[in-house]
Amino acid sequence: MIRRWRSISRTPATHGASGKKPLAVDNRGVSAIEFTLVAPVFLSLVIGIFDLGQMAYGISILNGAVEKAARDSALESANTEAADNMVKSQIDPIFPGATYQSTRTSYYDFLDIGRAEKWNDANDDGTCNDNEAYVDENSNGQWDADIGVDGNGGASDVVVYRFTVTYKTVFAVPFMPESWHTRSLTSTAIRKNQPFALQDNYGSNSGVCTS
């Protein structure tokens, strides 16, 4: 018996009559798909860097401007409105369309910042009530948990100056909630006014907390 051996040769797969490659070996368009997946993440990262850079720069300029405004406001000839406008002029180019709020609270001394007016806390609950007696040190006719007085104070008074900027981000990071795009930055400076006159002391009138 004569056996016939047939040689088997491995030949590349044909593309068929249509000439199309099988799906398993067709890698056309892979780069486009990869770009589609990576691009949003990359662009969000770049925009986020710009956003944080703008905020960091704005904080630096705001702190410097507030410090200068506080120093200028400590003079006898102080113009607090002009000082506030100076801060705004420094911030406007960085945060277009921002809104501003400033406050000044004066105290007799540094140790008085945030201190409550003296009172007889008979029930030891940390607030003035139940007919407890108090000393009206800031002379406004009521007991205050913060003895500070609104305004720039007088000679030798200590003033806490706060300036708040609220702005919408120029570089809005995609896919973030709307609240992310509105921010508030606050800078605080504490200065003691120059001794251009005798300093007014705290009042000594007494009162009673009825509530």
Domain ranges of the chain: 29-209
Contact 173, 52 (CB under 8 A): no
Mean pLDDT of 135-139: 95
pLDDT bin (cut points 50, 70, 90) of residue 76 is: very high
pLDDT bin (cut points 50, 70, 90) of residue 43 is: confident
Q: Which of 25-39, 126-140, 155-169 has the lowest mean pLDDT?
A: 25-39
Per-residue CA distances from 5 to 9, 10, 11, 144 (Å): 13, 16, 18, 109
Residue 124, pLDDT above cutoff 90: yes
Q: SS3 for 123?
A: coil
Distance CA 178, CA 175 (A): 9
Instruction: Please give the helix or strand (H or E) that residue 49 lies within, else none.
Output: helix 30-73
Helices (H) and strands (E) in the chain, counts: 2, 6
Percent of the chain predicted with pLDDT > 90 = 68
Q: How high does pLDDT run on average in the chain?
A: 87
